[in-house]
Structure 1
Amino acid sequence: MRLSVFLIGTSKDFVDNVKQYLQKKFPHIEFDFFTVSSINEASSTVSRLPGDTTGVLVFNSWSIPSIVRPILSRGIPTILISDTYGGAGEFLMEYSRALKLNLPVFGIVVRDLSSLSLLDKYVRMLETIGRLRDSKIVAVVGPDELNLMHLEYPLSIDLYGLRAYLQSIFGVKIELVDIRHFNEKYYSKVTDEEAKPIAERWLKNAEKVVDHTIDDLIKPAKLYLALRRLASDYKADAVTMDDIVLYNSGFLDTWPCLPFMELTLRDKIVSICEGDLISGTLMLLMKFYANVPGFINDPAPDMSKGEIVYFHCYAPINAKGFDSMELSPYIITPAHGGGKKLSIHVRLPVNETVTVVGLSPEERTLAIHTARAIDNEYHLRACATKLVAKANVEALAKNWVWRAGWHRVVFYGDWRGDLKILARLLGLRIIEEDA
């Protein structure tokens, strides 16, 4: 991964310190450093940037009119850091101009430009964008969907045009795998003997098991091993199955809730319910930036109580981080009135702020709201996991970005500010649904 660093009006000592800090802190990133002192020099340098440049950092201590404009106008995700006393004039003149042109730029002005620790967050954001461009989702779909998605069937652009939209915004690559090929090459090759220790571990580690035996868990354990091998072969960062369609069509004979739990916990692979490529891309973004898993859900408000229930039949038990040792208890249970087996109820952390995110790729709009997790409900109505939270449900009802669909992704922590910057760098519009 390559980042370009422009230094304008800074001392040699500052340049040396920046180089040393960045190369020591981020040894896996290749940095190109440029010292420029005029508009022509800035224009010439920008035109010669390597084609694989992921992002740009600009340190500006001069208020030479328009010197940063050629850099910002290049259209590469850019962080502009200006000195309060040296670069404020240039910042005020050029940053607002860049925002009006919807350029992928985030800017900040500080008195102490030498406080380099503020770089960590911004470099990680640019790194996240680079990792998204190098990432891959492998999606297991039925034969009809496979053909239509390859053709981007024009009468159903919501589903079949998604790959192109997500590729253009995030760079993420999406590989489509026919369920028949998956079953033949992966799922059918896993033996009961291989799967049984995993099924036994699920039973042992569950807080409670309702109406399930070890025999019920063999098929999902086989599915887990098959998905893990698929991800390995395709060098995929994420996997998804259009599970409801595949199950109801007879192509899938079990549910992926437990396999997704295992993939997220053991293999650190982003696991995506219902073939939801939009939510999966958001989950990759937050894995690369904050190393936290996401919980895809159907949000359901209760306006009489000012609460919202985020429910689905799978949630990560390591919700606070892929490497977190704080694991949530889970129950293996039926759901949907008892008609669906092999679901998991996860007792997610409470008294925590969660950030809830959706995306409308066609409108290039990121929808964000935050809530306070207060409780978990366990009963057979709807999906198995039900996280209850306090939120501004009246505002959500009025401001819901319907083109982002019903699904949203819950991430533990208050990431609103960081996501607003990342959205800016990705050229996305922000709608704060709870505002």
Structure 2
Amino acid sequence: MADYDYDLFVIGAGSGGTRAARVSAAYGARVAVAEEYRVGGTCVIRGCVPKKLLIYGAHFAEDLRDARKFGWAVPDDCAFDWATLRDNVLSEVDRLNKAYTTTIESSGAEIIHERATIAGPHEVKLASGRIVTAERILIATGATPHVPSCPGHKHGITSNEAFHLDSLPKRILIAGAGYIANEFAGLFHQFGSHVTLINRTDVILRGYDEQVRDRLLQISTMKGIEFRFHAEFRGIEKQADGSLMVEMTGHDPIEVDCVMFATGRVPNTGGLGLENAGVEWDEKGAITVDADNRSSCDSIFAVGDVTNRVQLTPVAIREGQAFADTFYGNKPTQVDYDCIPAAVFSHPPIAGVGLTEGAAREKFGSVKVYQSDFRPMKNVLAGRNERALYKMICEANTDRILGLHMIGPDVPEILQSAAVAVKAGLTKAAFDATVALHPSMAEELVLLK
């Protein structure tokens, strides 16, 4: 038996790395975790958690206006202070950073606050120059925002910097059409910024149900968000007054105060030293792994966004748990990637699980589609015309539910329970046999026609 400094060395203390480290340590392994920035990773420090807190804050823009119809004397000059929300959110991030640190340390794992790179199949080199050895190395370095290479790209920001803005821009251009772009478009719009979203194609939220994403486009446009499609950057020029002049293909130039890139995320493998251990990666820089998270080097593994399988925090956590269970808990486990629910915290939000209508027709040919297109009760009294849409896609012969896709208030909260039914392979009859919970938006799921 080789004499190593550690049984397991984890590079990256995000969601996947933290779960793998603390569970492995709880099983009795000697574990070290290297983190060059802050414990918690993208989700906790600069992703879904602070973003969701900003989304809660943004909701008050419409809620306060709606409140007047419900009898509340909300003043017309109800002001919003960005700095207050920003600082409160960052304080919560600080708390979570400490909580994650405590969680790892209380499990018995050691945290090393340095950058770590691969020096060999069993060797890790720290930024201080120290070399440590481990029987197994787990890479959980996540992903980072992609920045297009165009003249003046240095003048733009990414979602990382959006949480730290000194002030809100009066005019912001967001590049991209995925979930990050649409979420921040809704956020900045509700905070009072004029938002222009540009995309290389004319499709937003590729991979989501076509009807649902078209509904979001329609609602977003009605709210005042501007979309420019078939547009690619030609350049960004900073002007004397600090504003940015953006030139793009297919459209006139536009003057804005901020440009935000939301054009996808790329795996954090640059300069990691993968070649020193023969670890293979694909054309996007993602580490290629098997079902047990093992790379092309037998002693090196990877979980989370750095593998570019499914870039979702709960998936990274499951992969970290499966790794620990398999190699230190004597419970061989592999992650099931089928029927993973997903949400876009746009305004209004989207949620879906299983096959979209298009994907279901392509796979099964004949399908049945049930839906409800309705105006939520709160919107009716508030005088808001915004409509919700729920869709259920079923296999034609068996009525087994293949997918559920929704847009409307609180749909991520509603879908989580419904996703269990889809994962379990239930049929529409099971929903039909369930008594509606009235009055609620969720009851539409058992009343679909």
Class of the TM-score when normalised by the shorter of the 2 chains: under 0.3
Structure with larger RCO (C-alpha < 8 A, sep 6+): 2
Alignment TM-score, normalising by the size of structure 1: 0.23
Of Structure 1 and Structure 2, the greater helix share is in 1
